């Protein structure tokens, strides 16, 4: 199925105008009749500015897309000209494509103004193809877009039918008859090819179908015949979905829109329960979920949660969404309510069926569940496990990584311990500052410990010090900075710090001091 | 009593207050006679005052005597956590991580706390810390949950909630604060930790280096026994605390910290 939004950018501007002035109301009247002055959108195509879209009033005045802006202005001085904004148009198109996911998960974008839907196997959910098309046409008009819709068994035929004919349904097997009357532009060819074909007298697709193929390919390139074959169904053309198609999807439609968060969560749990047998059947569990909530006014909310282990249990899934919804930066705005909810598993991993262990007290799943809940609430990067690395610089030797992605990974601490005993590593502080903080220190030259230092405006008198422990960055990169001499010092109150001098006295005239960690 | 007493109702060798404290505790805990898991510090006078050791399944507050000593307070909390079994979850607000640094694996390992057991959570606000601590406490098999809060005041409701959450499982719940709280608290014990110059530190003894860490502990509130003050030293080689000196008199803060009735809180 192809949906052609023939006035996408005009519709976008009118929708904006309507949102800005809600008092105008009365959305049943055709949008364009309210706008008295003709509106056109102009953009630079090559050296000249041309009209790229015109509204209904301007169209009646005889203005067409492709006309030069100067010429149009000369014809109608009262013209309202607005600049083209392709980025926003394409963003809007993406949003409409997302909205179309309520009909089928396989929706693609046909830039700049078309949407493709693979409705194979979906139409019966709406009572058949005509009903689906009617439903879509009605809803999309309600959203304020003028759209032409066509259904065919090939992408090319549907797209051509939507743009160049009034036909809504092209029967399977009759693509050839249907297409032969359409102009060549319906084949989605570059404008130059269409012009070149017109010059040799080929105007409709019918002119082309029975011509010998080899000379055509030689003259116009392989693309021409490929497009023809694809439109006729001789060659399969895959639809490129805009979003990856989820391996597991469950959805629910509501006769009456739902708005309350509890209802949303209850529906989520119900959908998760529907997914469970499917996941179990294939021996998989979900690592990432996406809940899509389709608002009645066309907006689609996507809420994503990740898990640290393959998950199937509906209760757990619900619990994750509870945290995620609470933590949303802009709370879920239901508007007039959601009328479709869809729960999709974006990523699944094998999960062997597990034996329930009656004896065990603490199953490791509990901790994973906690990690998932905390990650859903605060974001995965805020819940971390500590990892050891084979590095010398302290900040690189141990790092924190998201606990969700490191579940079950080796954290390398056994190797670190071996290394520590092997080289008799001096003590490390239990707390390390995110960045070494510069301090003012007075120290004995050339490599003595500081005698006193000032950190965060407080003066510390050093009474005991141990060091230096010299740590060099990797010699093959300069990013790690100069050599550091670390000292473990204790001040007169008993607080212990880990300080270092960056640079050696003979290398730099004024080495700087930093405080890096705090000992217990 | 020299050995940490981990069984309940041992009548011999206990003085009256201690028995009373235990009976009272048995009444307030949900599971009646069953004794709560205890975490002995391994120093007899401290364990005696605690009635056998730090109680699991209930909230304890550890405050730094002043802001600069936050690392001593968190170090003490980590040393306690190292003595429990099971995962250790450390929840701190961003500001605390910025001010006194994030937990560093090799350093934790030095304290005897295996970094593999460790999960660190950075919460944006102190309210989130409380929520996350409560979540973590309701997780089965948890060893220790440490919440680090910099906010000066905490209301009684917050600490009560944490106490109740801790009571559902047996994990040790520790609330680390950067300054002693002046407010009422539902914590079973409140400690004030101060860093103390280490053994080797003599004026200008620069060459000796800092000795093992020492903590001056004031137990200013203790539900199961008398308050007290001790100076403990951490023996990293044998992984145990050693008593340096004890002052079993009441410390000044105890009077301030005595909780007012709940209604006025």
- CATH of residue B144: 3.40.50.300
Nearest chain B residue to A429 by CA distance is B107
Q: CB under 8 Å to A191, separation ≥6 — which residues?
A: A185
For residue A228, the model assigns a pLDDT of 87
Verify whether the Cβ–Cβ distance A370 to B89 is below 8 Å: yes
Collapsing DSSP to helix, strand or coil, A337 comes out as coil
- Distance, in Å, from the CA atom of B28 to the CA atom of A43, rounded to the nearest integer, reads 78
Structure tokens at B136: 């973590």
List the pLDDT tens digit at each of the 520 positions of chain A: 888 887 777 788 777 777 665 444 444 444 444 445 677 888 777 778 888 887 777 778 878 777 888 888 888 877 778 888 888 888 888 888 888 888 888 888 887 788 888 888 888 888 888 888 888 888 888 888 888 888 988 888 888 888 888 878 888 888 888 888 888 888 888 888 888 888 888 888 888 888 888 888 888 888 888 888 888 888 888 888 888 788 888 888 888 888 888 889 999 999 999 999 988 888 888 888 999 998 888 888 888 888 888 888 888 888 889 888 888 767 778 888 898 899 999 888 888 766 555 544 445 678 888 898 899 889 889 999 999 988 888 988 898 989 888 776 778 898 899 988 898 888 999 999 999 999 999 988 788 888 899 999 999 998 888 888 988 877 777 777 788 899 999 988 889 999 999 888 776 667 889 999 999 8
- Distance, in Å, from the CA atom of A210 to the CA atom of A518, rounded to the nearest integer, reads 83
> Residue A341's closest CA among A267, A391, A446?
A267
> Residue A104's closest CA among A5, A1, A255, A4?
A1
Q: Which of A435-439, A457-461, B29-33, B188-192 has the lowest mean pLDDT?
A: B29-33
Structure tokens at A146: 């003028």
The answer to whether B212 contacts chain A (CB < 8 Å) is no
| Cα torsion angle, B26, B32, B35, B39, sign | negative
The answer as to whether B17 is a domain residue is no
- Distance, in Å, from the CA atom of A352 to the CA atom of A194, rounded to the nearest integer, reads 57
Verify whether the Cβ–Cβ distance A430 to B103 is below 8 Å: yes
| Cα torsion angle, B46, B50, B54, B60, sign | negative
The answer as to whether B171 is a domain residue is yes
Verify whether the Cβ–Cβ distance B106 to A518 is below 8 Å: no
The answer as to whether B259 is a domain residue is no
Nearest chain B residue to A397 by CA distance is B106
Q: Which chain B residues are Cβ-neighbours of A384 within 8 angstroms?
A: 119-122
Angle at B10 between CA B4 and CA B13, to 5 degrees: 75
Count of Cβ atoms closer than 10 Å to residue A218 Cβ: 9
Instruction: Answer yes or no: is pLDDT of B265 > 50.
Output: no
Q: Which chain A residues are Cβ-neighbours of B132 within 8 angstroms?
A: 374, 377-378
Using DSSP bridges, classify how beta strands A114-117 and A2-5 pair: parallel, antiparallel or unpaired.
Answer: antiparallel
Domain count, chain B: 1
Instruction: Answer yes or no: is pLDDT of B13 > 60.
Output: no
The answer as to whether B102 is a domain residue is yes
Verify whether the Cβ–Cβ distance B109 to A417 is below 8 Å: yes
The answer as to whether B183 is a domain residue is yes
Strands (E) across chain B are located at 38-39, 54-55, 59-64, 88-93, 102-103, 118-123, 144-149, 172-177, 189-196, 214-222, 228-235, 240-247
Instruction: Answer yes or no: is pLDDT of B248 > 70.
Output: no
Residue A140 burial by Cβ neighbours in a 10 Å radius (0-12, 13-18, 19+) = buried
Task: With beta carbons less than 8 A apart as the criterion, state whether A517 and A432 touch.
Answer: yes
Residue A416 burial by Cβ neighbours in a 10 Å radius (0-12, 13-18, 19+) = buried
Q: Which chain B residues are Cβ-neighbours of A382 within 8 angstroms?
A: 121-123
Task: With beta carbons less than 8 A apart as the criterion, state whether A264 and A328 touch.
Answer: no
Residue A167 burial by Cβ neighbours in a 10 Å radius (0-12, 13-18, 19+) = middle
Verify whether the Cβ–Cβ distance B132 to A377 is below 8 Å: yes
> Residue A345's closest CA among A257, A409, A280?
A280
Verify whether the Cβ–Cβ distance A520 to B100 is below 8 Å: no
Q: CB under 8 Å to A157, separation ≥6 — which residues?
A: A150, A170, A175, A178, A179, A231, A232, A233
Nearest chain B residue to A404 by CA distance is B119
**Could you say which of A361, A384, A490 has the minimum Cβ distance to residue B140?**
A361
- Distance, in Å, from the CA atom of A73 to the CA atom of A489, rounded to the nearest integer, reads 80
The answer to whether B196 contacts chain A (CB < 8 Å) is yes
Verify whether the Cβ–Cβ distance B104 to A369 is below 8 Å: no
Count Cβ neighbours within 10 Å for each residue of A279-290 and write b for 16 or more, e otherwise.
beeeebbbbbbb
Average pLDDT over residues B185-209: 78
Verify whether the Cβ–Cβ distance A374 to B135 is below 8 Å: yes
Distance from CA of A415 to the nearest CA of B (A): 12
Q: What is the CA radius of gyration of chain A?
A: 33
Instruction: Answer yes or no: is pLDDT of B224 > 60.
Output: yes
Task: With beta carbons less than 8 A apart as the criterion, state whether A388 and B114 touch.
Answer: no
Task: With beta carbons less than 8 A apart as the criterion, state whether B163 and B155 touch.
Answer: no
Structure tokens at A119: 């409705």
Verify whether the Cβ–Cβ distance A464 to B108 is below 8 Å: no
Distance from CA of A418 to the nearest CA of B (A): 12
Verify whether the Cβ–Cβ distance A494 to B74 is below 8 Å: no
Task: With beta carbons less than 8 A apart as the criterion, state whether B117 and B86 touch.
Answer: yes
Count of Cβ atoms closer than 10 Å to residue A127 Cβ: 11
Q: Which domain holds residue B90?
A: 55-200+209-246
The answer as to whether B234 is a domain residue is yes
Q: How far apart are the first and last CA of chain B?
A: 37
Verify whether the Cβ–Cβ distance B106 to A398 is below 8 Å: yes
At which residue do the structure tokens 């910290």 appear?
Answer: B257
Residue B35 burial by Cβ neighbours in a 10 Å radius (0-12, 13-18, 19+) = middle
The answer as to whether B29 is a domain residue is no
Per DSSP, the residues of A190-209 read: -HHHHHHHHHTT--BHHHHH
The answer as to whether B185 is a domain residue is yes
> Residue A297's closest CA among A257, A248, A354?
A257
- Distance, in Å, from the CA atom of B224 to the CA atom of B124, rounded to the nearest integer, reads 35
> pLDDT band at B256, cuts 50/70/90?
very low
Structure tokens at B109: 């390992």
- Mutation pick from B91, B94, B106, B194 vs chain A, by most beta carbons of A within 10 Å, is B106
- Distance, in Å, from the CA atom of B226 to the CA atom of B47, rounded to the nearest integer, reads 11
For residue A33, the model assigns a pLDDT of 44
Q: For the packed helices A222-232 and A213-220, what is the interaxial angle rounded to 10 degrees?
A: 130
Collapsing DSSP to helix, strand or coil, A362 comes out as coil
Q: CB under 8 Å to A234, separation ≥6 — which residues?
A: none
Verify whether the Cβ–Cβ distance B71 to A420 is below 8 Å: no
Collapsing DSSP to helix, strand or coil, A132 comes out as helix
Instruction: Answer yes or no: is pLDDT of B225 > 70.
Output: yes
Residues 2-31 of B with CB under 8 A from A: none
Q: For the packed helices A222-232 and A155-164, what is the interaxial angle rounded to 10 degrees?
A: 90
Distance from CA of B11 to the nearest CA of A (A): 32
């Amino acid at each position: 199925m192809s949906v052609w939004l023939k006035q996408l950018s005009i519709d976008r501007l009118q929708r904006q105008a309507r949102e800005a002035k809600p008092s105008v109301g009365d959305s049943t009247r055709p949008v364009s009749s309210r706008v008295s002055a003709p509106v056109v959108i102009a953009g630079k195509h090559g050296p000249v500015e041309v009209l790229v879209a015109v509204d209904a009033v301007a169209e009646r005045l005889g203005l067409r897309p492709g006309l030069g802006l100067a010429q149009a202005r000369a014809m109608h001085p009262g013209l309202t000209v607005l600049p083209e904004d392709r980025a926003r148009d394409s963003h809007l198109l993406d949003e409409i494509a997302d909205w179309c996911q309520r009909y089928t998960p396989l929706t693609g974008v046909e830039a700049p103004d078309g949407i493709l839907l693979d409705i194979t196997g979906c139409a019966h959910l709406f009572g058949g193809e005509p009903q689906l098309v009617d439903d879509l046409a009605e809803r999309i008009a309600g959203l304020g877009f003028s759209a032409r819709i066509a259904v065919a068994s090939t992408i090319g035929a549907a797209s051509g039918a939507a743009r160049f004919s009034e036909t809504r349904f092209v029967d399977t097997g009759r693509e050839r008859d249907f297409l032969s009357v359409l102009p060549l532009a319906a084949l989605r060819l570059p404008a130059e090819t269409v012009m070149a074909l017109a010059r040799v007298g080929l105007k409709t697709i019918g002119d082309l179908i029975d011509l010998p193929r080899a000379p055509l390919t030689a003259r116009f390139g392989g693309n021409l015949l490929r497009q023809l074959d694809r439109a006729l169904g001789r060659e399969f053309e895959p639809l490129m979905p805009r979003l990856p198609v989820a391996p597991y999807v469950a959805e629910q439609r509501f006769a009456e829109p739902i708005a309350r968060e509890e209802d949303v969560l209850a529906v989520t749990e119900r959908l998760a329960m529907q997914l469970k047998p499917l996941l179990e059947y294939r021996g998989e569990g979900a690592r990432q979920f996406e809940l899509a909530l389709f608002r009645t006014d066309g907006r689609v909310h996507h809420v994503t949660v990740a898990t640290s282990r393959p998950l199937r249990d509906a209760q757990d899934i619900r619990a994750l969404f509870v945290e995620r919804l609470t933590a949303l930066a802009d709370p879920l705005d239901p508007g007039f309510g959601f009328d479709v909810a869809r729960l999709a598993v974006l990523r699944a991993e094998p999960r062997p069926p597990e034996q329930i262990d009656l004896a065990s007290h603490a199953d490791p799943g509990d901790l994973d569940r906690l990690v998932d809940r905390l990650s859903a609430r605060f974001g995965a990067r805020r819940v971390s496990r500590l990892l050891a690395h084979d590095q010398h610089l302290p900040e690189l030797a141990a790092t924190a990584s998201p606990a969700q992605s490191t579940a079950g990974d080796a954290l390398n601490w056994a190797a670190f311990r071996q290394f520590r005993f092997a080289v008799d590593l001096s003590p490390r502080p239990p707390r390390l500052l995110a960045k070494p903080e510069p301090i003012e220190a007075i120290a004995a030259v050339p490599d003595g410990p500081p005698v006193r230092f000032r950190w965060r405006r407080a003066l510390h008198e050093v009474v005991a010090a141990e060091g230096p422990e010299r740590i060099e960055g990797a010699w093959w990169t300069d990013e790690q900075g100069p050599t550091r001499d670390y000292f473990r010092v204790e001040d007169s109150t008993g607080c212990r710090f880990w300080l270092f001098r960056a640079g050696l006295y003979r290398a730099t005239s004024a080495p700087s001091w930093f405080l890096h960690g705090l000992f217990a | 009593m020299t050995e940490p007493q981990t069984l309940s109702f041992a009548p011999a060798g206990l003085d009256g207050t201690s028995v009373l404290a235990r009976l009272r505790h048995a009444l307030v805990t949900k599971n009646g006679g069953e004794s709560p898991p205890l975490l002995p510090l391994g120093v007899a006078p401290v364990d005696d005052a605690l009635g056998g050791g730090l109680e699991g399944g209930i909230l304890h507050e550890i405050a730094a005597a002043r802001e600069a000593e936050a690392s001593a307070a968190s170090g003490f909390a980590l040393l306690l956590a190292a003595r429990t079994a099971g995962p250790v979850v450390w929840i701190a607000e961003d500001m605390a991580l910025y001010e006194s640094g994030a937990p560093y694996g090799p350093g934790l390992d030095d304290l005897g706390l295996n970094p593999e057991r460790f999960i660190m959570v950075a919460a944006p606000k102190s309210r989130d810390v409380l929520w996350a601590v409560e979540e973590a406490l309701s997780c089965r098999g948890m060893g220790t949950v440490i919440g680090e809060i910099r906010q000066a005041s905490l209301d009684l409701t917050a600490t009560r909630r944490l106490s109740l959450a801790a009571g559902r499982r047996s994990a040790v719940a520790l609330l680390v604060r950067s300054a002693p709280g002046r407010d009422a608290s539902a914590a079973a014990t409140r400690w004030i930790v101060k860093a103390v110059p280490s053994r080797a530190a003599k004026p200008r003894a620069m060459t000796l280096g800092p000795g093992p860490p020492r903590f001056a502990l004031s137990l200013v509130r203790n539900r199961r026994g008398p308050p007290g003050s001790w100076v403990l030293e951490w023996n990293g080689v044998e992984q145990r605390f050693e008593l340096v000196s004890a002052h079993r008199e009441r410390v000044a803060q105890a009077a301030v910290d005595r909780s007012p009735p709940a209604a006025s809180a």
